[in-house]
Amino acid sequence: EVDLEFLGNLSGDPYILHTNLYSQGKGNREQQFYLWFDPTADFHTYSVLWNPLHVVYFVDGIPIREFKNLDAAGVPYPKSQPMTLYSTLWDAEDWATRGGLVKTDWSQAPFTASFSGFNASACVWSNGASTCPSSSAASVKYPWFSQQLDAASLQTMKSVQQKYMIYDYCKDTKRFPQGLPLECTLKTKS
């Protein structure tokens, strides 16, 4: 599961984009960002690159988060189950709105979301096999299959994180008193 969630806000506060990644049924890999624009004022592009190398989250083509495939080091990576795409509106007022302090104003219902220019490119899982070949031939039909971030993109992502990230599970020692998740300690070594 790869999550992009918009958290409720008080009028005038910046909107928060909440990201999380689940693998082998385990999540708790949240990062949150203030958006540098009002997402309700106009359409923006939110995308995810998910390939055998990493999962990268983008906002308007700008990388904001990367989760590397560290499966060989013991960090579960989402690679063994087919994916389904969902879009929902749901009430998370018990945690998402300032930690549950702000409740949903149901008098404002119905709540809606609008989409424009939706596009998905993916390997299809059918009869126990994927349409993505296991060789470099995949890059011809699916160029994203081996796409990586170049040095400029990595620098842009680092800058966005320094400026707009407001929560990173890899820095939350109160939440993980027994020690940060493995991928966090591996990330600091690289």
Q: 3-state class of 176 per DSSP?
A: coil
Measure the CA–CA gap between 186 and 30, rounded to whole angstroms: 17
Euclidean distance between CA atoms 81 and 92, whole angstroms: 26
Token pair in block for residue 16: 């928060």
User: Do residues 119 and 142 lie in contact, with contact meaning Cβ atoms separated by under 8 Å?
Assistant: no
Residue 1 among the catalytic residues: yes
Is 5 assigned a catalytic role? yes
Nearest-CA neighbor of 62 among 166, 165, 153? 153
Catalytic residue positions, numbered = 1, 5
